[in-house]
Structure 1
Amino acid sequence: MKKYLICIILSFLTTSIALARSTGCKEGNCENGFGKWVYTDKTTYEGEWVQTQKEGNGTETWPNGYIYKGEFKNSEWSGQGILTFPDGSTYDGEWTNGFMNGEGKFTWSDGKEKIGIWKNGKLQE
């Protein structure tokens, strides 16, 4: 009986660990269409896919509170998008290759704003 109980507990733990680390397409079409992909760290992407690449509009959400809503090209943030930080600050503007590039507005959680041209994630003064 004791061995049977240990086997049940071990199989439950193994199954729980496997499910916690499961990754992949959870809804829709993540090859060519609209789908939701969940990564092992629980980051999710929900949006448009073209040939298994994030392409078009979508939302990427991290467990630590970061959220990006906007355009993707070749699975990178490119085009118009809004990045929301865990503290409530936001950057709303242009993106290229995953970096703030072009016109944009950074708004701190206290409401202060900085508008300008960004290059590789840095405001050009």
Structure 2
Amino acid sequence: MKKYILYTILSFLIATSVSARKTGCEGNCENGFGKWTYTDKTTYEGNWVGTQKQGLGTETWPNGYIYKGEFNKSNWSGKGILTFPDGSTYEGEWANGFMNGKGKFTWSNGKEKIGIWENGKLQE
């Protein structure tokens, strides 16, 4: 049940990030390092290549979600950590914006699930 809730939350985050209107950049958000703030107050601070999030960066939402890690063509891809507002975290591999590969989900109470994830779902 919890993995379906997690999958729903991640889908919402990705959809919200895509639909947020852009407002402006501090630094170089074309080819370099810069911080972009969207109208919904979501921010991305990190590396840019061809106006896309690329390499290391941090995406922060006003509701408390924080993703810190690798991006590829503006998608979470590579290694990264997603922190939830309640303090829960997922640390591991990402592909196309979803948990894909080896990773560890830690709930705020300290309980952990370690395993292989595919498209945001733990494979059991």
TM-score normalized by the length of structure 2: 0.82
Q: Which residue of 1 aligns with 2:24?
A: 24
Whether 2:116 is the aligned partner of 1:117: answer yes
Q: Cα distance, 1:24 vs. partner?
A: 1.4
Q: Cα distance, 1:22 vs. partner?
A: 7.4
Tell me how far apart the structure 2 counterparts of residues 88 and 32 of structure 1 sit (CA, whole Å): 33
Tell me how far apart the structure 1 counterparts of residues 111 and 50 of structure 2 sit (CA, whole Å): 41
Higher relative contact order (CA 8 A, sep 6+): 2
Counterparts in 2 of 1:113 and 1:61: CA distance versus 1, 3 Å: same
Tell me how far apart the structure 2 counterparts of residues 24 and 84 of structure 1 sit (CA, whole Å): 25
Per-residue CA shift, 1:58-107, capped at 9, x if unaligned? 00000000000000000000000000000000000000000000000000
Q: Which residue of 2 aligns with 1:73?
A: 72
Amino acid at match of 2:116: I
| Runs of 5+ consecutive residues of structure 1 not aligned to the other structure | 1-20
Q: Which residue of 1 aligns with 2:14?
A: none
Q: Which residue of 1 aligns with 2:5?
A: none
Tell me how far apart the structure 1 counterparts of residues 82 and 58 of structure 2 sit (CA, whole Å): 10
| Runs of 5+ consecutive residues of structure 2 not aligned to the other structure | 1-20
Tell me how far apart the structure 2 counterparts of residues 82 and 22 of structure 1 sit (CA, whole Å): 24
Counterparts in 2 of 1:98 and 1:22: CA distance versus 1, 3 Å: closer
Superposition pairs for residues 1-125 of structure 1, below 5 Å?
A: 23-25=23-25, 27-125=26-124
Q: How big is the alpha-carbon RMSD for the aligned residues of Structure 1 and Structure 2? A: 1.1
Tell me how far apart the structure 2 counterparts of residues 22 and 81 of structure 1 sit (CA, whole Å): 24
Tell me how far apart the structure 1 counterparts of residues 22 and 73 of structure 2 sit (CA, whole Å): 24
TM-score normalized by the length of structure 1: 0.81
Question: What secondary structure does 1:111 align onto?
Answer: coil
Residue identity over aligned pairs, in percent, reads 86
